[in-house]
Amino acid sequence: MKHGALFRAGSNDCLVPEASLTANTWERLRGLLGRPVLRRGEGLVIDPCPSVHTFGMGYAIDLAFLDSHWRVLKLVRELPPLRWAGCTAARATLELPPGALDAAGITAGDVLEWREA
């Protein structure tokens, strides 16, 4: 797992200060399963990943589906447990704690930038 932060592209506007990025197939398959609830300021980028599910999870998550340039294509707020969401045009998915999309001001069309820790 790689660790860093997500910024609004071309700025110093840090949107997710404690971000993780999957680095292999196992990490992508596992995602947040069996992990503690994400805290405020934390997020997980799963790449490649055009869809996610919350089966086996006991909490809701916010999602941002990203294209290959890390442009936000679609947002899903507070996806509850036992649900599925996806975006056929997405390359990656950013998973966040509930309410984090609004708190960070992430909107469709934003371009995100990964910065390694």
Q: What's the confidence (pLDDT) of residue 30?
A: 87
What is the percent of the chain where pLDDT is above 90? 87
Cα 10 from Cα 73, distance rounded (Å): 18
Please provide residue 43's backbone torsions phi and psi, each rounded to the nearest 5 degrees.
-160, 160
**pLDDT category of residue 82 using cuts at 50, 70 and 90:** very high
Q: What's the confidence (pLDDT) of residue 26?
A: 86
Rg (CA), the chain: 13
Which domains are present in the chain? 2-116 (2.60.120.1140)
Mean pLDDT in residue range 4-23: 97
Cα 79 from Cα 103, distance rounded (Å): 16
Token pair for 65 = 């589906």
Strands 72-79 and 61-66: antiparallel
Residue 32: is its pLDDT beyond 90? no
